[in-house]
Amino acid sequence: MVDIYESVHRRSIEDPEGFWGEAAENIDWNRKWDKVLDDSDKPYYHWFTGGELNTCYNALDRHVENGHGDRNALIYDSPITGNSDTYTYSRLLDEVSRFAGVLAGLGVAKGDRVVIYMPMIPQAVIAMLACARLGAVHSVVFGGFAANELAVRINDATPKVLVSASCGIEPARVVAYKPLLDAAIDIAKHKPSHTVIFQRPQAEATMVSGRDVDWEEAMTSASSVQCVPVAATDPLYVLYTSGTTGEPKGVVRDNGGHAVALNWTMKNIYNVDPGDVFWAASDVGWVVGHSYIVYAPLFAGCTTVVYEGKPVGTPDAGAFWRVISEHNVRCLFTAPTAFRAIKKEDPKGDLLKDYDISCLETLFLAGERTDPDTLHWAQEKLNVPVIDHWWQTETGWAICANCMGIEALPVKDGSPTKPAPGWDLKVLDEGGNELPRGQIGALVAKLPLPPGTFPTLWNARQRHFDSYLREYEGYYSTSDAGIIDEDGYAFIMSRTDDIINVAGHRLSTGAMEEVLADHPEVAECAVTGVADPLKGQAPLGLLVLNAGSAIDPDQVVKDVVRMVRERIGPVAAFKKALVVSRLPKTRSGKILRATIRNIADGEDWKMPATIDDPAILDEITEALEKAGFASTRDKTSNPSNSEN
């Protein structure tokens, strides 16, 4: 029997230039590349050097020129406002070209940055594509981040223009964006010269004369702008993601490799064809939104769905089934947390009976590990293959996946299957030696990474090297630990840094600790991610107050919860903190965060041999139990504990 996946994967590793050179033929170039893979700057690799193209042209113009102008490009479905709209490729091209005219009129040109802070409305996609059309670099900031986080990104990206809407809409409240935007510009050192605001009736924004431009008004007089060719290696966007400190990392995506790889994934990973409806139920503020709400479906000539709603509550747990049946969705991509939310509200899947979802062929899940309960529930209720796939903001597309367009492999519970073509995945020990199959270690990918990943971090080449390339020479370090089993299936077990994953959102516990430490009564603190049945993980803070502090500890807890919401944003979902007398530490002063997490999660844990003061763990256990967390005790001293 021919093992198709194995042979495709082998070829991608043994002959990357042939493999990706062929895939690049499906993209339209203004100038063909000189080299598919340029390795003259090791350990930095560049794809398609010498090539020139325009990303927006490949997403829109070429489909219209090829006679598909009447095909649907984008369906906007907003149960939260009761609105919906459909854009054909021709209409989307017209609006994008005119919005590019608006931006050009405000002085935006090739290489300039534009920050986009938008809810899930078509204008967010239009703004992104308009930047791409001009060769400008967009940086989209998720709407659930607070003004301070937006300001940090404005300072780093130094945009000429900021594009936003007057508000976003959450089930329980209208989130007025404009005051957040104004506050962010006030806080930021860098001041963009203009903002463009899309007014929504739910909360009209007050405009600053001379600086703020009304989207609709500007569009009425704007003239269309043609695509500006850029180098394959020029940046298309910067997307900030959590690092281990409060300073986010600006992941850079280039134009050429991105278009080639994402276009390739649509058939080979997701098994969809031009004209199919592809729905990524995520947000344009995350990498999944960039890759699979905006760019990949449009490169491939599919119809993308922009959904402004939630899996539950808009209006009920049948919302996803309605969208699938109404819009004829062939492939759905979301995070496991969305399915946990649906399962919680409608465990028997009764609402499925109201809809015909026979159009759905596959469900893809990512953002966090798909737990077997959720996997089985989705398999049983939807009766389609449920595919867990593993990726990161940095990688832009899947590192491991069951490539449905190549060969559908058997699914193993808890595994995102095998490395996608282009990914040479290994498990290494601390010394950088490859571990035998079945043993847990650091998951790394041998360089070069495939196209569509990230050539660098914005303004931070050294940080890029230090964070990803320094530890294991010749490899990209994923910061995930895991296993590759006897059959070559990967299992992603945990992050090796202080990143946590809350409802599929990546958050830095270090950033939260920085906020907590700013409270005048807090002497010391630790934040760790504890198990949460809906969100996967939820942040939990431990606080040590100043000696002799007379303040009510409950008040400090309320203060820090409010501070995290104000400074990082509601998306941090920081709701719980406990006041304790000391933090558990090793004798060298390292806080034992994993032990705290294990106690809170009720997992077996070992007394770390190097703990400074074992008695503190009794107090922590008691405090956690009182606060409703589980705990299982095993005080055996264990020199092999990872926190020694």
Which of 69, 250, 367, 455 lies at the binding interface for ligand AMP (CB under 6 A)? 367
Using the rule CB under 6 A, is 388 a contact of ligand AMP? yes
Contact 584, 611 (CB under 8 A): yes
Residues in CB range of 227: below 8 A, 6 or more apart: 54, 56, 57, 61, 133
Partner interacting with residue 192 (select from ligand COA, ligand AMP, none; CB below 5-8 Å by kind):
none
> Binding marks (x or -) toward ligand AMP, 259..298, rule CB under 6 A?
----------------------------x-----------
- Among the listed residues 22, 170, 326, 407, the single contact to ligand COA using CB under 6 A: 170
Question: How far apart are the C-alpha atoms of 248 and 457, rounded to whole Å?
Answer: 10
Residue 367 binds ligand COA (CB under 6 A):
yes
Q: Residue 186 belongs to what H/E stretch?
A: helix 177-187
**Cα 141 from Cα 114, distance rounded (Å):** 11
Q: How far is the CB of 370 from ligand AMP (least distance, A)?
A: 6
Residue with the two structure tokens 């495939």: 450
Q: Which stretch binds ligand AMP (CB under 6 A): 323-331, 353-361, 363-371, 608-616?
A: 363-371
Task: Give the HSE-up count for residue 52: Cα atoms under 13 Å, Cβ half-sphere.
Answer: 7
- φ, ψ for residue 290, nearest 5 deg: -60, -50
Amino acid (one-letter) located at 388: D
SS3 401: strand
Q: If binding is defined by CB under 6 A, does position 582 make contact with ligand AMP?
A: no
Q: Examine residue 389 and tell whether it contacts ligand AMP (CB under 6 A).
A: yes
- Which residue from 159, 123, 155 is spatially nearest to 138, judged by alpha carbons? 159
Q: How far is the CB of 575 from ligand AMP (least distance, A)?
A: 20
Using CB under 6 A as the binding rule, whether residue 341 contacts ligand COA is answered as yes
Burial status of residue 372 (CB atoms within 10 A of its CB: 0-12, 13-18, 19 or more): exposed
Please say whether the beta carbons of 137 and 59 come within 8 A: no
Q: Report the residue from 160, 322, 369, 593 that binds ligand AMP according to the rule CB under 6 A.
A: 369
Q: Which is nearer to ligand AMP, 374 or 393 (CB)?
A: 393
Q: For residues 150 and 497, what is the distance between their CA atoms, to the nearest angstrom?
A: 24
Binds ligand AMP by CB under 6 A, chosen from 283, 368, 514, 643:
368
Phi, psi angle pair for 494, to nearest 5°: -165, 165
The nearest distance, CB 467 to ligand AMP, in angstroms, is: 13
8 Å CB contact between 294 and 263:
no
When the beta carbons of 390 and 423 are compared against ligand AMP, the nearer one is: 390
Contact partner, 389, from ligand AMP, ligand COA, none, Cβ < 5-8 Å per class: ligand AMP
Of the pair 21, 536, the CB lying nearest ligand AMP is at 536
Site residues for ligand COA, 475-534, by CB under 6 A, read 503-505
Q: Is 12 in the site for ligand AMP (CB under 6 A)?
A: no
Strands, E, within 215-351: which ranges?
230-231, 235-241, 249-254, 277-280, 303-307, 329-334
Q: How far apart are CA 303 and CA 112, in angstroms?
A: 29
CB neighbour list of residue 347: distance below 8 Å, 6 or more residues apart: none
Binding mask 48-87 for ligand COA (x = CB under 6 A): ----------------------------------------
Near ligand AMP in 474-493, by CB under 6 A: 480, 492
Piece of 221-229, 243-251, 331-339, 487-495 that binds ligand COA (CB under 6 A): 331-339
Q: Which residues bind ligand COA (CB under 6 A)?
A: 119, 143-144, 168, 170, 175, 282-283, 286, 288, 310-312, 334-335, 337-338, 341, 367, 503-505, 570-571, 573
